[in-house]
């Protein structure tokens, strides 16, 4: 590989190794590790989160786990895979979880800060945390409708 190819590959798929001196910007985690760590950070038992319990703490943990697994750039898990991992939930349930997290992050700043802190504790960085003011400003610009005036 040339130096240019190594740089491109390491920026996109960097795994810690001995061959280069590049540092890893975020931790690489497996789905099971993510579930365990999020449950530990939020102080909820894994069995209850993966079960059918509807207590608000367990539901919020389920939402956060779904969103993290979906937005992880290394894992690139599909909705169906995430649903299977969370004890055979339907992919539409996972879509609902992701939308709910996005809506709550937009409206509830305390929830956004809590989720950001979980993200930092999980990955060691908030480099890829997507729910920022910049993200929501871009979303608002996309939703604006163009109005055309028709002259007679």
- DSSP secondary structure string, 61-112? HHHHHHHHHHH-TTT---HHHHHHHTTS--HHHHHHHHHHHHHHHHH-HHHH
pLDDT of residue 77: 93
pLDDT of residue 12: 52
The rounded average pLDDT for each run of 10 residues, N- to C-terminus, in the chain (152 residues) is 53 53 67 95 96 94 96 91 95 96 94 94 87 85 64 54
pLDDT of residue 2: 54
Residue pair 54/46 in contact (Cβ under 8 Å)? The answer is no
Find all residues with CB under 8 Å of 95, minimum gap 6, and list them.
79
Residue 106 φ then ψ, to 5° = -70, -40
pLDDT of residue 146: 56
Count of residues making up the chain? 152
Alpha carbons 93 and 6: distance in angstroms, whole number: 40
pTM above 0.85, yes or no: no
pLDDT of residue 110: 95
pLDDT of residue 26: 64
pLDDT of residue 143: 74
């Amino acid at each position: 590989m040339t130096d240019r190819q190594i740089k491109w590959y390491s920026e996109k798929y960097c795994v810690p190794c001995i061959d280069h001196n590049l540092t890893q910007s975020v931790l690489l985690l497996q789905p099971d590790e993510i579930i365990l760590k999020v449950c530990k950070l939020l102080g909820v038992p894994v069995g209850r989160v993966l079960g059918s319990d509807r207590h608000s703490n367990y539901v919020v943990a389920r939402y956060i786990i779904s969103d993290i697994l979906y937005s992880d750039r290394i894992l690139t898990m599909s909705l169906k895979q995430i649903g299977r991992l969370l004890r055979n939930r339907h992919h539409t349930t996972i879509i609902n979880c992701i939308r709910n997290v996005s809506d709550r992050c937009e409206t509830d700043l305390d929830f956004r800060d809590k989720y950001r802190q979980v993200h930092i504790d999980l990955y060691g960085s908030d480099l890829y945390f997507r729910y920022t003011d910049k993200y929501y400003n871009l979303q608002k610009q996309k939703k604006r409708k163009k109005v055309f005036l028709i002259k007679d």
